[in-house]
Every structure is written in C-alpha cells, then in structure tokens.
Amino acid sequence: MAGKAAYRKRRQNRLAMLLVTTVVLMMMLVVTFKSVELREKRAAYQAREEALLQEIALEEERSAEIEEYGKYTQTKKFVEEVAKEKLGLVYEGEIIFKDER
C-alpha cells in the first residue's frame, strides 16, 4: 500500500508540474504578444508625435508671418500701396505712366 501511495504522489506531482509549466508557458505567450503590440503602438505614437511636432513648427512659422503682416499693415507704406492700387489715389503733383496695351 505504501508503494501505491508513493506512485500516486509522484503522479500528482508530475501532473501539477505539467499544469504549472503549461500555465507559465501560456503566460509567457500572452506577455510576448502584448509586448509586440505595445512596440507597434509605441512606433505609431512616435510617428504621430513627429508629425504633430512638424505641424506645430509650421503653425508657429505661419503665426510669425501673420504677426509680421499685422505689423506691416500698420505702416505708412502699406497705406500708400492700398491707396494707389485699390483706390487709384496719387500724391499731388505725381505723374502716372500707363502702357497702351
């Protein structure tokens, strides 16, 4: 009877070890797959971050251009250009030459 009990105990130990090994392997597979997914997401996020940084740089450049234009519109030169081009105004005594085309 002691032999049977020892045999059962060894068999149970083997079964337990097999189950533990199986669970550990399954966990390793899950961790590996999730790791791959996270790396892909990380790469996608980095690409998106680079695109957004470029977009920010372009918008900052555009903002600077708009600010410069805003300053230019406050100058006398701008007012003169608009008056000449859009309103056809000229200074007193100024002569305008036009092509005959």
3-state secondary structure 34-47: HHHHHHHHHHHHHH
- Chain segment 9-32, per-residue pLDDT in tens: 788 888 999 999 999 999 999 999
30-41 pLDDT per residue, tens: 999 999 999 999
36 residue type, one letter: V
Domain locations along the chain: 2-85
Helix (H) or strand (E) holding 50: helix 2-72
> Where does the pLDDT of residue 96 fall: very low under 50, low under 70, confident under 90, or very high at 90 and above?
confident
d(CA 64, CA 39): 37
* Mean pLDDT, the chain, whole residue set: 90
| Residue among 15, 16, 18 nearest 26 (CA) | 18
SS3 call for 90:
coil
97 has a pLDDT exceeding 80: no
Q: How far apart are CA 71 and CA 60, in angstroms?
A: 17
Q: What is the mean pLDDT of residues 57-73?
A: 97
pLDDT band per the 50, 70, 90 thresholds, residue 3: low
Amino acid at 84: K
